[in-house]
A and B are shown apart, each in its own frame.
Chain A
């Protein structure tokens, strides 16, 4: 009897002795950084992860950069979306907080990949990967600097409490980093990807984004060189002949699309939220266009193609209202699970940027009759956009194409160019940045609110969002609030 008991005891002590291994439990359903990013495949999976987190940024970009402008307003009369729309946001506004968070999260992914690039065996792939993550990082900083102004600049992997990095860095320094990153990306990225990889960024995309950065900084010569290159050697990208086929769920990543954040419905949560937000659906906040955008002044009758693509209107469902989800339709997709991509840069934008740069540099030289047929003139390029907008039978509306006498001055050309950008790129999150770049934001927005019979007045300090209150709190005030808030 006693022996049996001791035998039992002996077994138990043995079991107990094996305990150190018993407690070793590694994650089953996720990897860990210490043992990941070790080879080409793993680093590549991480590069793709940078694109994953981009989805979060672009789910709310239509609120932060779209709704903020006079492109649209929200039907909801309360809440954080409404407050962004109406310039009444508190520093605790959740979208202002989340955009910052998602952007830096994406930057963190990029910085992490840069750290492990040496584990990539093939030099060609290493270059591609570096180009991709530098591109995405530059894109995030470009958005941050335009929305928040001076921001902390993080280009390495910092510790959770590295207070040295909390401080704002001047916009100029951030832009230097953006330019450097896009430039490297432009050199290292391929011109296209295989069919199964379509959606990853290319050197054309980097070129176009860099041109936009220079344009924003009003460095016209630098911007012009890049745009000219894109006009002359467009590579895989081109202006589609039909405006409508640029959009639509069945023709995504067509030749005109240079860079888009990709979404897919019914696929493990890869869908977007903005398709639902911009439509009139049960419970949707419903983004609508105000009369100053949907009316006949911005959209003359001849522009019916772009107008009908931009807005959802008419019929038993929409009635006389104009919802702005026209470019993001995905029939049959579920609430908050739309499949439409969000286009960040397309070839039409390159053309319009080119005309803008040329006008800024050469606009004082009057247009001549030959400009209408000179492929490098601003008039010719602008007319490419207008011709396409008029539809397949341009002869029916000949007046729609500008001629040299119609546009009398640099200012006049600016005016028609601004209107053109608005119609062409409506509800693509371009408008707000355009208004700020042109210095028109305060005037235009105040006129917009007046047209909605609202007393809201936009102050110049509101061209930048406040720094999220949470960030100021957790850095114990090292990070300073933007002036005015």
Chain B
């Protein structure tokens, strides 16, 4: 460092030597470090390319100028170059140079502060956003993080455009309480998900994983913490950035829909090989439209993302302003997502020692949810039926040519139908259902933060901040009379009665106040940081639900046009008080200590149990800083870390400790009268769920930073689970909310970063991560096991058992399918060979000759055993290339889709095994429907190319001519390539859409929306 400075000083003198005469005015001033206020010596001050001086030892300078000089350039190694405009009257310019970002990169944002990366003792993953992350064609920030962070499992549980992915950090720690991580945006813990931020506005994201890092968030740290730091302005000339991209989205993979021949085989299989209705196949052949409902259910749509931002500022006022618009089309009919958002942030030095930060983030999102799940509509669209009535079907059904065809048109339901009763289905087809129903959710949200920071002196500061979130979510659902019914067949009265509108409004008001003292000082080899503070947070949620039906017209979707049915509203409030303190200490950069304590009080528990303490401690030892560490070129950095701490969870909803008496109604007389129903036991002993976790880690650096490996092992035990304990219902209630149960999560994580090359012409870095997590139920409130049924209609079973993962699939082991074969008393014309029915023979596990409940066994679980991600960024001259691969292995899903699609438009039956000519009574006894067995359990492993970017930056010379600083064109994609495991047959192996995220009935797929592939082209202009 010193050498470089000397060199610079010499260079500056050289420049001075070329100094030409003819000056007629003098400008004086002093250059200081913006952070410390210390004078800077040797700063180069340039008038033009070859003319300039350097500052003296005390940072002062005096420069003589000629006419026509409009600006001075201040530059110094390790600091950001600053250009200051001057006028003809300027006489004094004092400049404070800001330390360059290269030095800041070593700092990690942690809870309530920052810490030097070298001094970190806890476990975290950090993502500094680069240009690429903002260009991935996804609508949500969380989608852009997939595969980039070890231990952070982000899954596309719903592949619809705009739907939130599930984020789980280091496994599921709770059963009843929610396990979403805490989201903190610029220090404000917001009661919302990551849809609140625009990836283009994000400077960096830090994920805190172990208790030592998250315990400072105490009660809410149990599921990990995601800290988002947004971009802020820097002093200097203002910068403008415009990023526009647009492209197309289409379905990743279609499934195979049975055509007529397969359909026939299934119908036969389901009916003991007998044609259920004479002539039904001839009839189908006559209509045979060979239509695949996927052709009109899914579509190609546009993806557009426009972002404009400007930032800049002076020494005293910095700003960052941005506006963005995303239109993420839904590939499925009825789906779509749009978001418009703005962000304004200002940082003002209102007094020499007082800084005011202000952030304002209004946004508007519009989400169209597909109102009917895929399997429901696909099975109502047999391949023989055309989408719209053609001449043949019109003649047979009496429906006008060109009108939407529904299966029920081909049944006795339709008096005009002249053909064979080909469709037992009474429902409408996909097109009617999807186009006749709208489910729109809009969200208006504004997040405001204000922070005031007082610096008492250079070590000691106080910061008070206020966060305010106001949000309103409105759901408008409207089902037209022809969506589910058909007036011509059902009669107008019935059709009208199926029309329905729902209006839900949910308003959130959240106010948070943090007050924090920070003392930071480096004295010789001691690096000390102490923080202490307290915070309060108040959240209020109000909900309104309105519903009306029997609309006289399909043209008015608002409640006023229908018969009012439901009007109700509810409200709830929550308060949280916290006290926190932390002590970070580093000695000689070798011995590192961090101790923190947080005390949280929550309104969700009874007085006496409200407060809980969440302490943590961590130690680090930087072996490579020791004198005895052998200096070598290979292993250049070694650090060991260890931590232990407690975090909490209170995500069970409000007022759970009370015996709630909930209002209801009874219809007496001719009116409805309020009634009150006792709905739960009181539990004044209810308290915080706690997770104690330990973490051991090592940071290894090779080849002077060219290869960095971070290894972690964690063991987290959550006890006193906030559990809706299943109890004997003879007590009155089915569950009791109590602190009982214990869950353990443990796993390994490795993160590798390798900035292989970093030269002017060529830059190449790769990063990779891999992690495992194994969860085990250690105690389930005194019960050894609980067998739960999933789907009521197509029963599948879930087992929750002490000593095993939280939940496992449970059922019979299928051996061979029941095959429909020829018998003597059946016609031979239509014999399907080897066609299987919806039943299967199952294994007699205990070999007692009877198939009963005792023959059920564990059939797998929904948890991935191994996850990994790989990111590659490569630039050669003007060209750049980057991609991220993500893999997940070992998880299983219970995929009911094949059962549905098998069943598509077949008629009654599915009881081939009851064919007494073929199967003995013993065989008949050993038959179960396929969903009872492992028949529907599929491998959910996958490897996905999450994004792939190719870019070209125009040469600087060319760009400069246009008075711009950057023009870059790029092509980007998401899910360009996606590999499903063998045996997986539906649209999205990550999907989980069965039971509203119930952790004890996880991994159930039923008509999950298909994954999309997006390819976009964009341009990024900066000046």
Contact = CB atoms under 8 A, between A and B. Distances in A.
A binds B: yes
Interface of A: 1-2, 5, 8-9, 12, 15-16, 19, 22-34, 36-37, 42, 45-46, 48-49, 51-53, 75-80, 90-92, 94, 100-101, 104-105, 107-109, 111-112, 151-152, 154, 157-162, 165-166, 194-200, 262-264, 266-270, 280-284, 316-317, 319, 331-335, 337, 455, 469-471, 473-476, 479
Contacts of B485: 282
A285 to B, nearest CB: 9
Nearest to B675: A48
B31 to A, nearest CB: 26
A107 B732 contact: yes
B668 A30 contact: no
Contact of A48 (B538, B676, B783, B786): B676
A263 B667 contact: yes
A157 B485 CA distance: 48
A78 B607 CA distance: 50
A52 B678 CA distance: 11
Contact of A45 (B454, B484, B575, B676): B676
Given A5-B456, A33-B661, A199-B669, A23 B577 contact: yes
A197 B731 contact: no
Interface in B596-654: 601-603, 607, 610, 654
Contacts of A476: 782-784
B603 A92 contact: no
A269 B665 CA distance: 9
A52 B731 contact: no
Contacts of A36: 661, 676
26 contacts: A5-B462, A26-B658, A28-B571, A30-B655, A30-B679, A32-B660, A33-B660, A33-B682, A46-B676, A48-B666, A48-B668, A48-B675, A49-B661, A49-B678, A77-B911, A78-B910, A79-B793, A92-B787, A158-B731, A160-B731, A197-B669, A199-B668, A266-B549, A267-B665, A337-B565, A455-B914
A474 B782 CA distance: 9
B428 to A, nearest CB: 7
Interface string B896-919: 000000000000111100100000
B733 A105 contact: yes
A23 B610 contact: yes
Q: How large is the interface on B (under 10, 10 to 19, 20 to 34, 35 or more residues)?
A: 35 or more
Given A94-B792, A319-B412, A471 B659 contact: no
Contacts of B564: 266
B610 A266 contact: no
A91 B787 CA distance: 11
Given A154-B730, A161-B727, A267-B667, A19 B536 contact: yes
B669 A27 contact: no
B795 interface: yes
A24 B603 contact: yes
Interface string B657-690: 0111111111111111111111101100000000
Given A12-B515, A30-B663, A334-B498, 15 more contacts: A16-B536, A26-B658, A31-B663, A45-B675, A45-B676, A48-B674, A49-B677, A52-B665, A77-B911, A108-B731, A109-B732, A111-B732, A266-B549, A473-B787, A474-B727
A101 B603 CA distance: 31
B200 to A, nearest CB: 36
A49 B571 CA distance: 21
Contacts of B727: 160-161, 474
A52 B677 contact: yes
A51 B610 contact: no
A333 B658 CA distance: 37
B789 A92 contact: yes
A49 B782 CA distance: 32
A90 B853 contact: yes
A52 B675 contact: yes
A270 B659 contact: no
Contacts of A335: 498
Contacts of B786: 470, 473-474
Nearest to A454: B914
Contact of A470 (B534, B664, B726, B853): B726
A105 B572 contact: no
B714 to A, nearest CB: 32
Given A22-B575, A27-B660, A455-B914, A166 B565 contact: no
B654 A27 contact: yes
Given A22-B575, A27-B654, A32-B660, A78 B726 contact: no
A100 B732 CA distance: 10
A53 B662 CA distance: 12
B669 A196 contact: yes
A109 B677 contact: yes
Interface in B702-759: 725-734, 736, 738
Nearest to A479: B728
A197 B663 CA distance: 18
Nearest to B426: A282
A40 B537 CA distance: 39
B900 to A, nearest CB: 12
B731 A154 contact: yes
A48 B672 CA distance: 11
Nearest to A33: B659
Contact of B655 (A25, A195, A270, A316): A25
Nearest to B657: A32
A25 B489 CA distance: 54
Contacts of A280: 426
Given A52-B665, A108-B733, A154-B731, A25 B603 contact: yes
Nearest to B515: A12
Given A30-B655, A32-B660, A282 B603 contact: no
A269 B675 CA distance: 14
B601 A19 contact: yes
Nearest to B907: A77
Contact of B674 (A33, A45, A111, A332): A45
A414 to B, nearest CB: 36
Closest 6 CB pairs of A and B: A108-B732, A48-B675, A79-B793, A264-B667, A33-B659, A196-B669
Contacts of B738: 160
